[in-house]
């Protein structure tokens, strides 16, 4: 390499570091984290439009049963993960989990190829992919919380999360392009390959941690996390802060479920054709991910540094209050589409990175086990309860206005909880 080429490469590296608000030694980890979430979300969002169409095919009035099944499946998976964390070294925990998940995807692909119209295979896949989605993402963010310090997380988590949004944008495009030629079974097989490809990124990040990560994190990486199979739940129950995060997640799930049910109802009314329904879902996903990428790369980190995590956790709930108020006045698909896009963009670009920042100062067992309980059991439990609550409101109310009014109140409590959690985190980090 000539001196001129070396200087050019240094300038390029410096320019990229400035774009990502990263230090030079952090840039490789940011890119690897970006790619990890890109591959993870591209594989999931390839299958998401199909999953949503399957949910409608089973009957909008039966969606609460799928939500309940998802919650019950989560209760089975979490103790298994708790057992694995006792015996598998932390360095190998994510690769083992993703490897097993890829094998399950291949099993579903085989079943769908043999029985493409089997409703029970479709229902089982809907439930499994809903559990896997939260579980896989939670573990990936546990790794991020293990790699970086609180100050780094404020600068870098938004840019890393942009990989998820780009993957969420690429996934529907891939599925729309390939589904006619490879079918649903083929999409599942491709998704399994993408999931296995994430293991290269994980390995690179673990090596980076060995050099640049906190000393305690480096020493513990080769040992199992330990604790009992239900210790994550025990940690949550004993910590007021973690219980606060649980409340925040339950309220987030409630808001999301109310809007999800309205989306299913209005899409079914507005677009009777199943192909058109899938296109609508894919179109919404594409718009959401496009807007999210811009915000994550250029605004999330800067907003967190200037205004703190509290801004990330309150802005979206306050905007959602306005969205539900608009739906109370005009419950139409165009209004619902705008509210859904704003809520999802805000969640991915602001709420999710802010929520993950809350765990960075905490210990490893909390990051990997208590966090996983919150992201899966608590979230899906909130889904199940709010699904039945929404069904109950719709059964007794003559119009969707009642659910929208209830949504205003839930979003208001969500904003207050986010403000309290953000204030506590910002004071803790400021105090060292």
Residue 91, judged by CB atoms within 10 A of its CB (0-12, 13-18, 19+), counts as: middle
For residue 6, count other CB atoms closer than 10 A to its CB.
10
Helix (H, G, I), strand (E, B) or coil at 271: coil
Domains delineated in the chain = 25-430 (1.20.1250.20)
For residue 334, count other CB atoms closer than 10 A to its CB.
10
What local confidence, expressed as pLDDT, does residue 1 receive?
40
pLDDT at residue 405 tops 50: yes
Helix residue ranges per DSSP H, 22-118: 27-57, 63-87, 90-114
Higher pLDDT, 411 or 224: 411
pLDDT digits (tens, 9 = 90+) for 325-382: 999 998 888 899 899 999 999 998 899 899 999 998 888 788 888 888 898 889 888 8
| Per-position DSSP letters for 202-265, written without gaps between them | HHHHHHHHHHHS-HHHHHHTTSB--S-TTHHHHHHHH-HHHHHHHHHHHHHHHHHHHHHHHHHH
What local confidence, expressed as pLDDT, does residue 224 receive?
57
pLDDT digits (tens, 9 = 90+) for 163-212: 888 898 888 788 878 877 888 888 889 999 999 999 999 999 988 988 87
- The pTM is what? 0.74
Mean pLDDT across the stretch 49-65? 64
pLDDT at residue 80 tops 80: yes
pLDDT digits (tens, 9 = 90+) for 272-320: 776 677 677 777 877 887 888 888 878 888 888 888 899 999 999 999 9
């Amino acid at each position: 390499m000539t001196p001129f080429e070396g200087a050019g490469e240094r300038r390029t590296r410096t320019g990229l570091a400035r774009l990502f608000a990263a230090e030079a030694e952090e840039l490789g980890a940011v890119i690897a984290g970006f790619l990890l979430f890109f591959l993870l979300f591209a594989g999931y969002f390839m299958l998401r439009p199909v999953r949503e169409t399957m949910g409608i095919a089973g009957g909008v009035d039966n969606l609460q049963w799928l939500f309940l099944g998802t919650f019950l499946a989560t209760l089975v998976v979490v103790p298994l993960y708790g057992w694995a964390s006792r015996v598998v070294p932390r360095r190998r925990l994510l690769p083992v989990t993703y490897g097993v998940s890829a094998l399950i995807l291949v099993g579903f692909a085989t079943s769908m190829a043999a029985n493409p119209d089997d409703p029970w295979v479709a229902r089982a896949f809907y439930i499994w992919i809903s559990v896997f989605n939260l579980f896989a993402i939670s573990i990936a963010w546990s790794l991020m919380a293990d790699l970086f310090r609180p100050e780094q997380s404020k600068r870098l988590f938004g840019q890393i999360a942009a990989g998820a949004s780009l993957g969420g944008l690429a996934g529907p495009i891939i599925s729309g392009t390939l589904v006619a030629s490879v079918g649903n079974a083929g999409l599942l097989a491709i998704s399994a390959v993408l999931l296995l490809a994430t293991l290269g990124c994980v390995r690179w990040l673990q090596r980076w941690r060995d050099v640049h990560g906190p000393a305690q994190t480096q020493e513990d990486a080769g040992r199992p996390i330990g604790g009992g199979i239900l210790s994550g739940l025990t940690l949550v129950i004993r910590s007021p802060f973690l219980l606060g995060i649980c409340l925040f997640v339950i309220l987030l799930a409630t808001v999301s479920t109310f809007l999800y049910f309205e989306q299913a109802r209005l899409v079914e009314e507005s677009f009777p054709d199943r192909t058109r329904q899938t296109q609508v879902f894919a179109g919404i996903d594409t718009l959401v991910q496009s807007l999210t990428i811009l915000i994550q790369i250029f605004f999330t980190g800067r907003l967190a540094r200037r205004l703190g995590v509290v801004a990330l956790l309150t802005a979206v709930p306050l905007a959602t209050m306005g969205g539900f108020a608009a739906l109370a006045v005009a419950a139409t698909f165009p209004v619902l589409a705008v509210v859904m896009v704003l809520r999802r963009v805000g969640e991915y670009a602001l709420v999710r990175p802010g929520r993950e920042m809350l765990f960075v100062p905490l210990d490893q067992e909390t990051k990997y086990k208590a966090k996983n309980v919150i992201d899966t059991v608590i979230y899906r439990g909130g889904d199940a309860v709010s699904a039945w609550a929404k069904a109950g409101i719709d059964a007794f109310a003559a119009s969707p206005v009642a659910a929208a009014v209830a949504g205003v109140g839930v979003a208001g409590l969500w904003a207050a909880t986010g403000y309290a959690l953000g204030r506590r985190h910002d004071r803790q980090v400021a105090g060292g």
